[in-house]
Amino acid sequence: MKPRQSGISRLIKSAHYSWRGLCSGWRSEQAFRLEVVLAIICFPATFWLASSFLGWLMLLGSALLVIITELMNSAIEATVDRIGSEFHELSGRAKDLGSAAVLVSAIFAAVVWGGCLLVRLGILPVAG
C-alpha cells in the first residue's frame, strides 16, 4: 500500500489528478469538448435569461451537470474498454446506461433553459 497523504499536500495531489482528468477529457472526448464550448458560448446569456439569482444558478448548474455527466460516462466507457474489447452484455449495458445519463442531464438542461426563456419572454409567469 502506498502511504496516505493528508492536509494540503493531499488537496494539491487531488487537484492535480482532477486537472489531468479534465485535460484527458478535452483531448479524447469530442462530446466533452462540444459541451464545454457550448457552455462557454451560452454563459453570457444566463445573465439575460435568469430572472433571479436562483434562476441563474439553475441555468449554470444544469449546464455543468451535462459536463459532469459526460465526464462520468467517459470514465465508464474507458473502464469497460480497458477490461476487454469482446462483446459482453453487461459491458454494453454499462455504456448504454452512461449514455442515457448524459441524455437525461441534457434534457434537464433543455427544460431549465427553455423554461427560463419562456419566463423571460413573458410566456410563463415568474414562480413565486
b (16+ CB within 10 A) / e for 98-119: bbebbeebbebbeebbebbeeb
Note if 70 is an active site residue.
Answer: yes
Instruction: Say if CB 3 and CB 42 are below 8 A apart.
Output: no
Catalytic residue among 29, 35, 70, 77: 70
Catalytic residue list: 70
